[in-house]
């Protein structure tokens, strides 16, 4: 898997994303000492461009080609990271500069994300579902590498952290460029820009989701993950750590390391036995239900190491989306795949904008423990709704 230039480029991208997650959270929680509501606001701000720019980025990907779109947006992302690291080193924490950084980083990431995912269906000769599981494993391994790198933040400080993050993005661009050259040499290039259909983008999207109930429910599951599951890692985990075990504040990255180890274990196992997974949608529903139960148990944690173990179990939730994402890609017509991927990521990361902001407010007003139990109950209700619709339960491997 990691011998191909595409998966190497995919790995460096998500290595950078993994480091960015720890770096961003560490920067606000410990370097800048922000309050819970401030952390929620800035987490939401950096995700907010996914509401506005991801679909536009997906449409741009379909028009000019995924390779070109990814290369330019990711180089822009690298420039934003390096620039802010230098500014913080020179002037310290400036609210207006951090505000601008969050917006620019969010915009460039929102364009890059759907572009690189369009390569997944044909990433290897295996089935689309198997390729999606391979991509999930590569994603999780790279995120773990990024999280492990985050352990060095007390020594790298903000300048080194942002600079290293920028370098990882540049490496991804270089490797994807090599991948594109290899495909061109073999005369098997990735899909270039597709001629736009006469119907407007949103008219085509409405028609697709109306005619494809499976993709509609996969989109709804992404909305659930973005609104409720993703923000828990951004908001509830670091705040619970600060509230219960402040002496382990410098070990924040260890929580994410355990989470990624859990994710790698289950996605690697699923990838190995992909051909035997006959009902991936049903398994995804059980995974999400299990996550809600374990999250509730997190509220009763008595030690830092218990918290690490439970976050490791919580990390296995990442297999849920991977189980159904291959079907989503398979159901998406090639000429609209970029914008349909962008819609899924808008539901996932776009709603995470609201989720992180609201979860930060909830943690401040209700307390961390009450917020954990509330999120657990909401996820259970959402899973029951998806199960009642029966579209995910009927998904078969592709």
Q: pLDDT of 271-283, one tens digit each?
A: 776 667 788 889 8
Helix (H, G, I), strand (E, B) or coil at 219: helix
- Tell me the average pLDDT across 104-111: 87
Look at residue 264 and tell me whether its pLDDT is greater than 70. Answer: yes
pLDDT the model gives residue 287: 93
Cβ 299 vs Cβ 373: under 8 Å: yes
53-89 pLDDT per residue, tens: 777 777 777 777 778 888 898 999 999 999 999 998 8
Q: Say if CB 156 and CB 19 are below 8 A apart.
A: no
Q: What is the pLDDT of residue 310?
A: 93
pLDDT of residue 387: 93
Average pLDDT, the chain: 84
Q: For residue 194, what pLDDT band results from cuts at 50, 70 and 90?
A: very low
Q: Band of the pLDDT at 186, cuts 50, 70, 90?
A: low
Q: Which of 117-126, 170-179, 346-355 has the lowest mean pLDDT?
A: 117-126
Across residues 289-303, what is the average pLDDT?
92
Average pLDDT, integer, range 328-346: 83
What confidence tier does 203 reach under pLDDT thresholds 50, 70, 90?
confident
Distance, C-alpha 335 to centroid of its chain: 24
More confident residue, 40 or 152: 152
pTM for the complete prediction? Answer: 0.74
pLDDT the model gives residue 106: 86
Write down the pLDDT at residue 195. 42
Q: What is the pLDDT of residue 192?
A: 45
Task: Over range 97-106, report the average pLDDT.
Answer: 91
Q: Which two tokens stand for residue 229?
A: 């599951």
Share of the chain above pLDDT 70, in %: 93
CB atoms within 10 A of CB 247: 8
Confidence of residue 188 (pLDDT cuts 50, 70, 90): low
**How far is residue 117's CA from residue 215's CA, in Å, rounded to a whole number?**
16
Q: What is the DSSP string of 71-119?
A: HHHHHHHHHHHHHHHHHHHHH---HHHHHHHHHHHHHHHHHHHHHHHTT
Distance, CA of 353 to CA of 157 (rounded, Å) = 27
Which pLDDT score is estimated for 274? Answer: 66
Residue 2 has pLDDT above 60, yes or no: no
Q: Is 63 exposed, middle or buried (0-12, 13-18, 19+ CB in 10 A)?
A: middle
Which residue shows structure tokens 């407010």? 361
Top mean pLDDT of 180-194, 328-342, 381-395 is at 381-395
What is the CATH architecture of 5-188+203-389? Answer: Up-down Bundle (1.20)
When pLDDT is cut at 50, 70 and 90, the band that residue 307 belongs to is very high
DSSP secondary structure of 11-46: HHHHHHHHHHHHHHHHIIIIIS---HHHHHHHHHHH
122-149: average pLDDT = 79
Q: Confirm if 61 and 340 have CB atoms less than 8 A apart.
A: no
pLDDT over 50 (residue 314): yes
Distance CA 276, CA 273 (A): 5
Question: Which carries the bigger pLDDT value, residue 151 or residue 12?
Answer: 12
Q: Pick the most confident of 35-39, 121-125, 169-173, 208-212.
A: 169-173
Given a cut of 60, whether residue 197 has pLDDT beyond it is: no
At 394 the pLDDT is: 82
- What integer is the mean pLDDT of 151-180? 89
Task: State the pLDDT at residue 92.
Answer: 83
Per-residue pLDDT at 200: 67
């Amino acid at each position: 898997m990691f011998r191909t230039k595409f998966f190497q480029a995919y790995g460096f991208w998500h290595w950078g994303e993994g480091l960015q997650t720890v770096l961003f959270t560490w920067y606000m929680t410990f370097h800048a000492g922000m309050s819970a509501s401030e952390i929620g606001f800035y987490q939401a701000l950096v995700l907010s461009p996914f509401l506005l720019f991801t679909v536009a980025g997906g449409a741009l990907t379909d028009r000019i080609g995924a390779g070109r779109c990814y290369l330019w947006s990711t180089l822009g992302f690298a420039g934003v990271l390096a620039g802010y690291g230098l500014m913080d080193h020179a002037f310290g924490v400036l609210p207006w500069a951090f505000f601008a950084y969050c917006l620019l980083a969010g915009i460039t990431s929102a364009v890059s994300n759907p572009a690189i995912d369009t390569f997944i269906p044909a990433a290897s000769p295996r089935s689309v579902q198997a390729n999606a599981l391979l991509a999930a494993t590569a994603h999780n391994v790279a995120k773990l590498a990024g999280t492990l790198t985050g352990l060095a933040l007390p020594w790298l400080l903000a300048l080194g952290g942002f600079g290293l993050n920028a370098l990882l993005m540049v490496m991804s661009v270089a490797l994807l460029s090599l991948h594109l050259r290899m495909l061109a040499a073999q005369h098997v290039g990735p899909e270039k820009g597709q001629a736009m259909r006469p119907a407007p983008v949103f008219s085509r999207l409405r028609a697709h989701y109306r005619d494809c109930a499976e993709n509609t429910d996969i989109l709804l599951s992404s909305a659930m993950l973005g609104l409720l599951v993703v923000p828990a890692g951004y908001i509830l985990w670091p705040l619970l750590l600060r509230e219960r075990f402040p002496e382990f504040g410098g070990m924040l990255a260890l929580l994410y390391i355990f989470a990624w180890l859990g994710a790698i274990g289950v996605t690697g196992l699923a990838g190995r036995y992909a051909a035997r997974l006959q009902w991936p949608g049903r398994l995804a529903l059980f995974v999400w239900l299990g996550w809600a139960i374990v999250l509730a148990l997190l509220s009763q944690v008595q030690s830092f190491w218990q918290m690490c173990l439970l976050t490791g179990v919580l990390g296995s939730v990442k297999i849920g989306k991977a189980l159904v994402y291959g079907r989503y890609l398979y159901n998406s017509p090639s000429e609209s795949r970029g914008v349909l991927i962008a819609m899924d990521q808008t539901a996932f990361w776009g709603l995470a904008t609201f989720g992180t902001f609201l979860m930060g407010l909830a943690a401040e007003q209700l307390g961390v423990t009450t917020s954990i139990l509330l999120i657990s109950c909401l996820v259970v209700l959402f899973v029951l709704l998806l199960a009642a619709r029966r579209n995910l339960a009927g998904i078969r491997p592709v």
